[in-house]
């Protein structure tokens, strides 16, 4: 039992060290910008995903060390599996998509200094509604969906506010 705990503690401290020490080290090929951008809402599905990093990327022979992977809402890979690299940029082509939803971009790179970095972000594909602002809601569902989304967000904010309130209240009692 004791051995198991020591092992666990070692792993835990190791992970903690990595989390604390990693940002302190040099920048590597950090994420700078992307198209589509993180959390961007696109109404035309992009033909590619392009990422810009803070350092020139390294290509090691024919090995694909710089990879961009794009998944649809169902987790299906919809990229061309052929990430291209040019300087500090990488891009991958995308298959055309019909269904609106949240798409996930996963990336991994190796910068010129030999350091590997990885990350992910999401963008949202929304089919543009054909209705204009002057005509009241011809389409079904979408205004209600927007409204429920707004209320949902308000609810989340309210919960966070209540949480913070009680957190500080408790701290006050303890100290």
Angular region, 153: left φ>0, alpha ψ -120 to 50, beta rest: alpha
Q: Please give the size of the binding site for Cu ion, defined by CB under 5 A.
A: 4
- Cα dist from 12 to 9, 55, 124, whole Å: 5, 31, 35
Between residue 63 and residue 82, which ones bind Cu ion under the rule CB under 5 A? Answer: none
Q: Which is nearer to Cu ion, 58 or 72 (CB)?
A: 58
Q: Does 28 engage in binding with Cu ion (CB under 5 A)?
A: yes
Listing DSSP states for 26-86 in one string gives ---S-EEEEESPTT-EESS--SEEEEEESS-B--BTTB--SEEEEE-TTS-B-B-S--EEE
Piece of 18-26, 42-50, 139-147, 151-159 that binds Cu ion (CB under 5 A): 18-26
Q: Which is nearer to Cu ion, 26 or 146 (CB)?
A: 26
Piece of 6-14, 28-36, 70-78, 142-150 that binds Cu ion (CB under 5 A): 28-36
Under 8 Å between Cβ of 77 and 70: yes
Over the window 84 to 113, marking each residue x when it contacts Cu ion by CB under 5 A and - when it does not, the resulting string is -----------------------------x
- Interface residues with Cu ion (CB under 5 A) are 26, 28, 113, 115
């Amino acid at each position: 039992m004791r051995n198991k705990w020591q092992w666990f503690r070692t792993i835990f401290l190791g992970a903690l060290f990595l989390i604390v020490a990693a940002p302190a080290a040099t920048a590597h090929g950090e994420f700078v910008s992307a198209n589509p951008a993180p959390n961007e809402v696109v109404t035309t599905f992009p033909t590619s995903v392009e990422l810009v990093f803070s350092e020139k990327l390294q290509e090691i022979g024919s090995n694909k060390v710089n990879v961009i992977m794009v998944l649809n809402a169902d987790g299906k890979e919809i990229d061309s599996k052929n990430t291209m690299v040019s300087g500090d940029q990488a891009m991958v082509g995308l298959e055309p998509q019909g269904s609106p939803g949240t798409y996930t971009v996963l990336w991994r790179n190796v910068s010129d200094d030999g350091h590997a970095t990885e990350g992910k972000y999401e963008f949202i594909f929304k089919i543009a509604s054909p209705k204009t602002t002057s005509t009241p809601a011809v389409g079904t569902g979408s205004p209600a969906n927007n409204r429920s989304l707004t209320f949902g967000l308000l609810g989340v904010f309210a919960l966070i506010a209540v949480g913070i309130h009680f957190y500080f209240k408790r701290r006050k009692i303890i100290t």
